[in-house]
Amino acid sequence: MSITSQHSGSKSFRRVGYQSIVLLLTTLLISLCAYRLDVNLATVSLLLLALVLVTAVRCGFVQAIITSFGAAGCLDYFFIPPILSLHMSDPKNWVALSIFLFTAFVVSQLSSQSQAHARQSDLNSQHMEMLYELSRATLFLDRGQPAGSQMASLIIEAMRVDAVAIFDGSLARLDFAGSSSSEENEMAREAYLQDKSSVDVTTGTWLRPLRLGQHPFGGMVLRGPNLSPGIVEAVASLAAIAFERVRSFQKESRAEAARQTEQLRTAVLDALAHDFKTPLTVIMTASSCLAEIGGLAAEQMEMVALISGQTAELDTLATRLLQKARLEAEDLRLNKQEIAASKLISRALTMKAGRLNGQEVHVSIESQNIFVRVDEELIGTAIGEFIENAAKYSLVGSAIKVTALEDVSQVLISVHNEGPVIPVEDRSRVFERFYRSHGASYRAAGTGLGLSIVQKAAEAHKGRVWVTSEHEKGTTFYLSLPRIVRRQH
C-alpha cells in the first residue's frame, strides 16, 4: 500500500471517529433534556429514532450503528426502570435497539443507493457534455490532414482521459496522445488486426476496433477513470465518423483534381487539334498539286502518295480530337432533329467508304420508319467509328453486317464482324479513351479515341453502348438510342 493511500485511510478513520463522538454527545444531550423536561418514553424514542435516521442519511451506516447503540443505552438509563441505571434487561431495551439498528441499516442502504444513482447521473451528464463537445470539435477537423492525430488530441481534451492510441489500418499509421505506452500503442494495432474488444478493469484500459459498416478499418485504445462501455462505444463511433468524413473529403478533392486535369488536357488537345488543321490542309493541298502537275518519277509519286495518306491520317486524328473535346465540353449543345436510321447508316458508310479496304457490307434495316431524334453529325460519326473499327479487325473475305431495329423503348443499331475475340476483361474498357485491347494493338493501327467518341455521343443522347464477342458468333458493337413515335398521316 502506498503512503498516499495510508494517509487517506487514516484521515477517513479520524473523520468517522470525530463524527461518532459528536453523535453520541448529541444523543446524550437529547436524552438528558428529555429527562429534565419529563418527556414520556414514546416521544423520546421517536426523537432518538429521528436522530438515527438523519445520521444514516447524512453520515452513513457505521455512524448510524454507533448512534443506535448510544440511543438504546440512553433510553435504558434515563427512561426505563430502574431509572438512572444501565441493565438492558427489559425487553423494551432490545426492541428499541432492534428498531434503531433496522432503521440505520435500511435508511443507510437507501441513502447509499440514492447517492450512487445521483453520482452516476452526474457522471453520465458530464459524459454527455463531453461527447457533445467532442462531436462539435470533429466538425472542424482539418480535412486535408490525417484524422488520427487530430482525433487523438481531441479525445484527450474533450473526454479528459489519460491516454489515447488510434491505429489507421488503411494507412498503417499509429497516432497517440497523452501518457500512452508502447504496449498500449501495440494494443490499438491488435484491436484492428484481431477485430476484438476488451477491457482491463484494473488499469481502466479499453480496446475497441473502429468500423465503417461491418468491417474494421482501425483500432483504438482508451485509458482513463470513470469510463463505461456506452461511452467508449460512442467515442469509437465518433472517431469512425470523423475518419469517414475526412476520407470522403479527400476522395472528393482527388476527384475534383482529376476532373480539372481532364478539363485541362481536353483544352490542350482541342487547341492542338485546331492548330494542326491549318498546316495539314496546306500539306494535303501541296501534295495534291504535285500529283496533278505530273512529270514526277515513279519513286517520287510514291512519296507524294505516302505524304497524302499520312496527312489524311493526321487530319482524321485531329478531327477526332476536336470531336472528343466537343463531347467533353460542359456546354455541349446538340443540334437534334428527327432522322431515319437508314439515313444515319448511309451517311456513316459514305463517310467511311475509303476505309473499308474492300470489305463487303450488308445492311439490314427492320423498317424504313425507324426514326431517332439525334445530332446527325455526332451519331453519324459514332456509327462510322463502329464500321471503321469492324473493317480494321475483320477476317479477310468476311462481311460486315450493319443492322437497325426497334422495340417499345429503343432503336438498336449494331455492327457485326468476324475477327479476333475481345477478352471479357477488356469489353468494358474498350470504350475508354486511348485504351486498346491487348490482342488488338498489333493487328491494326489506331489511336484508341474512336470508341470513346461513340460512348460519349451515346451518353449525350441518353443512350448506351456495349459489345459482345464470341469465337463462333464474332464481335458485335451495339448503339442504343431512345425511340420516338412518329404519327402516321
Per-residue model confidence as pLDDT tens digits over 259-296: 666 565 555 555 555 556 667 677 777 777 777 776 67
Looking at the predicted structure, is the pLDDT value of residue 89 above 70?
Answer: no
Q: What is the second-level CATH architecture of the domain 140-249? A: 2-Layer Sandwich (3.30)
Mean pLDDT of 433-440: 60
d(CA 107, CA 117): 15
Alpha-carbon radius of gyration of the chain = 46
pLDDT of residue 99: 78
Q: Which of 173, 406, 419, 123 is nearest to 165 (CA)?
A: 173
* CATH code of the domain occupying 336-482: 3.30.565.10
- Most confidently modeled range among 241-245, 246-250, 371-375: 371-375
Residue 117 CA to residue 321 CA, distance in Å, equals 75
The percentage of residues in the chain with a pLDDT greater than 70, rounded to a whole number, is 82
pLDDT for the residue numbered 468: 92
| Averaged pLDDT, 218-226 | 89
So what's the pLDDT on residue 261? 62
Task: Quote the pLDDT of residue 405.
Answer: 93
Q: Say which residue, 420 or 448, is predicted with more confidence.
A: 420
Task: Give the H or E element holding residue 417.
Answer: strand 410-417
Count of other CB atoms within 10 angstroms of residue 369: 12
| Per-residue pLDDT tens over the stretch 109-120 | 777 777 777 777
* pTM metric for this prediction: 0.42
> Which single residue is written with the C-alpha cell 505524304?
307
Distance in angstroms (rounded) separating the CA atoms of residues 182 and 187: 9
Read off the pLDDT of each residue in 304-327 and give the average, rounded to a whole number: 68
Q: What is the mean pLDDT of residues 56-81?
A: 80
Instruction: Please name the residues in contact with 98: beta carbons below 8 A apart, sequence gap of 6 or more.
Output: none
User: Is residue 437 very low, low, confident or very high in pLDDT (cuts 50, 70, 90)?
Assistant: low
Distance in angstroms (rounded) separating the CA atoms of residues 168 and 146: 9
Q: What angle do CA 320, 356, 475 make, to 5 degrees?
A: 85
Reduced to 3 states (helix: H, G, I; strand: E, B; else coil), residue 389 is helix
- Angle in degrees, CA 205, 211, 216, rounded to 5: 90
